[in-house]
Amino acid sequence: MPIALVDCNNFYVSCERVFNPKIARRPVVVLSNNDGCIVSRSNEAKALSIQMGLPAFKIERLLRRENVAVRSSNYALYGDMSQRVMNTLAHFTPDMEVYSIDEAFMDLSGFARSNLTEYGREIRRTVGQWTGIPVSVGIAETKTLAKIANRIAKRSAKVDGVFDLTGSPYREKALSLTDVGSVWGVGRRYAKFLRKHGIKTALDLCRTEDSWVKKHMSIVGLRMVRELRGIPCISMESAPPAKKEICVSRSFGKPVRTLLEMQEAVAAYTTRAGEKLRTEHSAAGVIMVFMMTNRFKDEPQYSRSTVLELPVQTDCTQELIRYALRGTEMIFRKGYGFKKAGVVLSRIVPAGQVQTDLFDTRNRTASKELMSALDDINVRMGRDTLKYAASGLARSWKTRAEKRSPRYTTRWAELPKV
């Protein structure tokens, strides 16, 4: 059962380049929210040894000296480009799993008899032509091996972006060239632990005894090792399961010091969480609010959260905000400079299976109609066209994004001009 992993190269940077060919040859980086850390790098930027996740302010001089193009994150653009890529991929197989914003697994079972490398090249060519985004394709018997094949496809100049490992005599060779820390499912902690026990490559891990793996890395680790041996243990998920938690949190553009500002921010995050909840057609029974100071600053620290139970599971923003504001008031303390806050919705059920309450006084039909009218308008006219006053107008705490490119594909006013 061959599986392909298609992964966009340097995805955020590639999106920026599609609409701005001038930066096609320059080193480019994209920053996280608040223009904080490096989250995407062009190959030229990687060649300058700019590390993933590095705070941008620490390498300001280097960025200037090397004439690196720096962009804020533009999620509206990346989300839309991602959809275009996924729509394109859907032409090539009936069975695929969108794994993240820039990756998809594709079941190629029906194509086992054809030349998979050739098919991979066609996928790559088509995505490039239709969207402008360069992708790499790795093909193998399991997801974990497809990940490794993809990594080789990206790195080796010889294979030109497509690498098929199915039934390959090179599997052992490929595994021996893969650092154990690069295996899908091995994070920093496990990598350190494994190296300490002399397991340095994917091949070493592949040859480790089941019982040892199970004991030290649980059933999850065992699945991973089996996958390395070519035994599929992680299946394709064509429809994403409903979310069990919905979290919206942000760092503030500047420290928040007053309860009013904090409540505005929490109300705004709750609004977003409610929107997510409704696109899932779900309702939540619990809301958690949290806030924290800046742990990198040598200042008094404070971090707290509180959990509020809703009397009836709901998807109504108004109701969620009321509880969120109450929670905010409970845990807010004056005298601190807050850096970040957020809300987490949980105990989530399908909206149609809400457990009703005999003493419930709310008019649920009316609020349902209100929410769907609100969502309609905001989808059609742009986010926050209508918003709750509780989320504030000035929004002094807003996330910084000083170098954001236009939202070329999702706002009429920002369409590229030719």
Partner DNA sequence: TCTGGGGTCCTAGGACCC
How far apart CA 111 and CA 229 sit, in angstroms, is: 22
253 versus 364: smaller Cβ distance to DNA: 253
243 binds DNA (CB under 7 A): yes
What is the DSSP secondary structure assignment for residue 192, as one 8-state letter?
Answer: H
Helices marked H in 197-341: 202-206, 210-228, 259-279, 317-331
CA 227 to chain centre: 24
Of the residues 16, 44, 97, 103, which one makes contact with DNA according to CB under 7 A: 103
CB of 215 to DNA, least distance (A): 9
How far apart CA 365 and CA 367 sit, in angstroms, is: 6
173 binds DNA (CB under 7 A): no
399 binds DNA (CB under 7 A): yes
What is the DSSP secondary structure assignment for residue 412, as one 8-state letter?
Answer: G
Q: Pattern 124-163, binding to DNA, x per CB under 7 A?
A: -----------------------x----------------
Of the residues 22, 113, 188, 196, which one makes contact with DNA according to CB under 7 A: 188
User: How far, in Å, are 55, 252, 297, 301 from residue 292 at the CA level?
Assistant: 19, 11, 12, 8
218 binds DNA (CB under 7 A): yes
Of the residues 24, 47, 51, 57, which one makes contact with DNA according to CB under 7 A: 57
CB of 70 to DNA, least distance (A): 12
Helices marked H in 20-74: 43-47, 60-65
**What is the token pair recorded at 356?**
């009703």
Contact residues for 159 (Cβ-Cβ < 8 A; gap 6+): 152, 153
220 binds DNA (CB under 7 A): yes
37 versus 364: smaller Cβ distance to DNA: 37
Helix axes 116-131, 75-89, angle to 10 degrees: 140
CA 130 to chain centre: 23
238 binds DNA (CB under 7 A): no
How far apart CA 255 and CA 257 sit, in angstroms, is: 6
32 binds DNA (CB under 7 A): yes
Q: Which residue has the tokens 């909840």?
A: 277
Q: Pattern 249-288, binding to DNA, x per CB under 7 A?
A: xxx---x--------------------x------------
How far apart CA 337 and CA 142 sit, in angstroms, is: 48
368 binds DNA (CB under 7 A): no
Of the residues 233, 247, 259, 331, which one makes contact with DNA according to CB under 7 A: 247
CA 279 to chain centre: 17
2 versus 36: smaller Cβ distance to DNA: 36
CB of 399 to DNA, least distance (A): 6
CB of 184 to DNA, least distance (A): 5
Pick the stretch among 85-93, 189-197, 318-326, 350-358 that binds DNA (CB under 7 A).
Answer: 189-197
101 versus 354: smaller Cβ distance to DNA: 101
The pair phi, psi for residue 348, each rounded to 5°, is -90, 135
Of the residues 1, 24, 219, 260, which one makes contact with DNA according to CB under 7 A: 219
List the end-to-end C-alpha distance of the chain, in Å, as a whole number: 45
* Positions in the binding site for DNA (CB under 7 A): 32-34, 36-37, 39, 53, 55, 57, 99-103, 147, 183-191, 218-220, 241, 243-251, 255, 276, 294, 296-297, 339-340, 342, 399
